[in-house]
Structure 1
Amino acid sequence: ARAIEALQALAPPLPVRSLRAARTSTALGFARTCYDHLAGELAVALAAALVDRGVIAALEPGVVGTLLQPRHEMLALLGVGAAPVAGRRPVVRGCLDWTQRVPHLAGGLGALVLTGVTRQGWIVPTAHSRAVRLTDEGRQALTEAALFSDGLLVA
């Protein structure tokens, strides 16, 4: 998987040739699933918010990261009941986002965040795509928690 991710980072984006492709590309760029965690502009902003608040250490693509505050209120807000325990899978790992070219959160914590925001109804899957849609409830909750600038949540 890491080799494929590295190749994706080097590959140029495919040209958009239809309105449907443009809409799909925009939706995928904003928010999508990446294996079992969230990716796209929304995920990158969420990872940055976690770093800014000292919940996790700065992420590097493909590198195991560090969970600094496993009981931080931001994790509870995102629907993470208890931080994952280290095992075969890292708790925190940076995963290179192919649309943003910076890392988003992967690992056990990344999976729990995706599960939490989905369970709360903040994101919903879209048909026939890995894209997910940020719901009005999710947009409001993230805005009220001051996790993101208004500009990000316009997409």
Structure 2
Amino acid sequence: MKDGPDIARIGALIGDPARANILGALMSGKALTATELAAEAGITGQTASSHLKKLMDGGLLGQTKQGRHRYFTLAGPEVGAVLESLMGLAARKGHLRTRTGPNDIAMRSARVCYDHLAGDMAVRIFDSLETRGFLSVSRDKGGLGLTSAGSKFVSGLGIDLDTLAGSRRPLCRACLDWSERRNHLAGSLGAALLDRFQENGWLRRENDSRVVHISPKGSAELGRLFPLG
């Protein structure tokens, strides 16, 4: 491809195993230092610095300074969406690096996908919103939107849609779940729902992991709010 976006450069940046591990660690949505990312990738600090510079130059990472430390994050939700899609493709093609185990089961149940919920519960939420007519195709925005009934439902959860509408991000976006191979909800609404569920004490993030634990009350409340069938 001589013209158009240079996908080869992005592919090369993501394709290096150490850089893939760094990007995967940042899918938790947490900002991490170079030392922490070096440990995640299993490389030296000096090597990590070289990889981080390449990822920064390629526009895949952002950084902030706090005191003596520099913290790295994914450059934005669109980077997280690409990584989740690639994880899904790898899983479907059988390209798995580790055997399944307890942690894998927990990741499949509920996890963070950059700034929104992914896994079995997230797919259930998306399916419930869709089957109840709360989501619709938004032709003018080229993606998903909320119906009037959906807007009323979401507002009833205590989410300020006017604030979300002021964001540059799409309100609703379908993100292909790598473990369930069906869509979960991303966009500013997906992020707001995750925040709301955590504020309610229904979900708890596991330290240093993407895994999300659902409390018994959370399971009951989410089942009530997002029924299927």
TM-score, normalised relative to structure 1: 0.78
Deviation at 1:3, TM superposition (A): 4.0
Q: Which residue of 1 aligns with 2:159?
A: 81
Q: What is the RMSD computed on CA atoms of the aligned residues?
A: 2.4
Q: Which residue of 2 aligns with 1:14?
A: 96
Q: Which residue of 1 aligns with 2:41?
A: none
Deviation at 1:13, TM superposition (A): 4.9
Which whole-Å CA distance do the structure 2 matches of 1:133 and 1:39 have between them? Answer: 12
Which whole-Å CA distance do the structure 2 matches of 1:128 and 1:45 have between them? Answer: 25
C-alpha distance after superposition, 1:32-74 (max 9, x if no partner): 0101100001000001111112111269xxx73111135323x
* Aligned counterpart in structure 1 of residue 206 of structure 2, from 122, 126, 150: 126
TM-score, normalised relative to structure 2: 0.55
Provide structure 1 residue ranges, at least 5 long, that are not aligned to the other structure: 150-155
State the AA in 1 paired with 2:227.
L
Q: Which residue of 2 aligns with 1:101?
A: 181
* Aligned counterpart in structure 2 of residue 43 of structure 1, from 114, 122, 128: 122
More relative contact order, 1 or 2 (CA 8 Å, 6+ apart): 1
C-alpha distance after superposition, 1:64-85 (max 9, x if no partner): 3111135323x256x4422220
Deviation at 1:88, TM superposition (A): 1.9
The 1:86/1:47 distance shift into structure 2, 3 A limit, reads: farther
State the AA in 1 paired with 2:160.
A
Which whole-Å CA distance do the structure 2 matches of 1:135 and 1:91 have between them? Answer: 27
Deviation at 1:96, TM superposition (A): 1.0
State the AA in 1 paired with 2:123.
V
Which whole-Å CA distance do the structure 2 matches of 1:86 and 1:53 have between them? Answer: 26
Deviation at 1:144, TM superposition (A): 3.7
The 1:134/1:128 distance shift into structure 2, 3 A limit, reads: same
Kindly name which structure, 1 or 2, has the bigger radius of gyration based on alpha carbons.
2
Query: Going by fraction, where is helix more abundant, 1 or 2?
Result: 2
Q: Secondary structure at the match of 2:170?
A: coil
Which whole-Å CA distance do the structure 1 matches of 2:95 and 2:152 have between them? Answer: 37
Tell me, yes or no, if the aligned pair for 2:174 and 2:186 is still in contact at 8 Å: yes
Following TM superposition, the consecutive aligned residue runs of length 4 or more in structure 1 with deviations greater than 3 angstroms are: 2-6, 143-146
Q: Secondary structure at the match of 1:65?
A: strand
Most deviating of 135-144 and 100-109: 135-144
Q: Secondary structure at the match of 2:147?
A: coil
Identity of counterpart residues, as a percentage? 33
State the AA in 2 paired with 1:42.
M
